[in-house]
Amino acid sequence: MEEKVVIGVVHLPPLPGSPEHADWDAVIERALQDARAIERGGADALILENYGDRPFLKEVGKETVAAMTALACEVRREVSIGLGINVLRNDAFAAIAIAKAVKADFVRVNQLYFTSIAPEGVLEGKAGELMRYKRFIDCRAMVFADIAVKHAVHLASIEEYCINAERSLADALIVTGVATGKQIKLDDLKNVKRLVKMPVLAGSGVNAENAAEILKWCDGVIVGTYIKRGGSVDAERVRRIVRIAKR
């Protein structure tokens, strides 16, 4: 098996402005702790995600953009692996703005094109506007787009997502299960890899037991839930996935 990419997720605690935010200093320390562990584990990159900001907004406030920018700058100083940004729930414009400010390598967009129904409401893909904004501010970050993203009901089939992927100008596609931590359907992953020419990543439910099989059908994995132990990232769990991906 050829060497594959491993991206670890830093699930940020609740940020200022979110209902469960408590201690900003603790948020910074936790983010840095998890980022260091992902790097020690040998991952190729990490992605910062405002996972603790439930219930999510479709468009985040200025305080979230400021907080994630500050955290990304801190992480940039601490680790040297690739950096990605994901602003939940689907605020791709905020992600691109943060990525520009911190020189991030990529952003993740849950609904880049087509439309889905999510707990937060209707998630409308805005690839045309986003790519023009990205060009306008000269952001060089790659765009990784989910297709049939988790925690949503989709109005387009996976085949329709694949047929229209290149038109969205995405740099890579992400396939997930139905919810955070839920394993993807291998048949879906195989179909996506067969139908598109761009890189394909598995974005949920990856663990040390299934990683080898999943990696047969994609170019890399994004791992968040499995690499946690007691709520924090465990470098050894990251290392287990990396060993499988790099052998």
pLDDT(216) > 80:
yes
Over residues 189-214, the mean pLDDT reads 97
- CB-facing half-sphere around the CA of 74: CA atoms within 13 A: 18
**Confidence at 181, pLDDT banded by 50, 70, 90:** confident
- Are the beta carbons of 18 and 68 closer than 8 angstroms? no
Single-letter residue type at 63: E
Is the peptide bond prior to 77 cis by the omega test (within 30 degrees of 0)?
no
**101 vs 137: CA distance, rounded Å:** 10
Over residues 44-61, the mean pLDDT reads 98
Is the peptide bond prior to 199 cis by the omega test (within 30 degrees of 0)?
no
> What does each C-alpha distance from 28 to 24, 31, 67, 87, 210 come to in angstroms?
6, 5, 9, 17, 32
Per-residue confidence (pLDDT) for residue 223, from 0 to 100: 98
* 77-136 pLDDT tens trace: 999 999 999 999 999 999 999 999 999 999 999 999 999 999 999 999 999 999 999 999
Residue 104 dihedral angles phi and psi, to the nearest 5°: -70, 155
Tokens in use for 134?
Answer: 């990205």
**Consecutive H or E run containing 106:** strand 106-109
